[in-house]
Amino acid sequence: MILSDALRAALLAEARAAHPRECCGLLEGTGKAVTALHPARNLADAPDRFEIDPALQFRLRREGRNIVGCYHSHPDGAAEPSPRDAQAASQAGFVWLIVGGDALGAFVWDGARFERLELGPERAPT
């Protein structure tokens, strides 16, 4: 999965700004690349939870945007899915980006478990 340096920096900055709460949002993109971040209001009451405002998803769908995944932060945790994330995951093929500290992890839900995804900026062909 391709994530540009600019989008990576924006995501880490959003996570820092939300600390000590979790930031969350949706990922627009293609099967190969994330092309935009769409920050969402976090509807969760607890600071260590996230719940993406469904209105955002409806709006993006109405605008014809291709949503390929979601992102959120673990303010004082690891850049890996928590057991709660596995419970919340439903859509197979959905990409999950998770920020933990200054690290960023990428995963795809395969319907039963998270698989780690390679994540990096696009390299010019050599």
Contact set with Zn ion (CB under 5 A): 82, 85
H/E element, 106 = strand 103-109
Closest contact distance (angstroms) between CB of 88 and Zn ion is 8
Closest contact distance (angstroms) between CB of 87 and Zn ion is 10
Closest contact distance (angstroms) between CB of 9 and Zn ion is 21
Nearer to Zn ion, 65 or 100 (CB): 100
Nearer to Zn ion, 28 or 85 (CB): 85
27 backbone dihedrals φ, ψ, rounded to 5°: -105, 125
Where residue 114 falls (left for φ over 0; alpha for ψ -120 to 50; beta otherwise) is beta
Pairing of strands 67-74, 95-100: parallel
Nearer to Zn ion, 2 or 44 (CB): 44
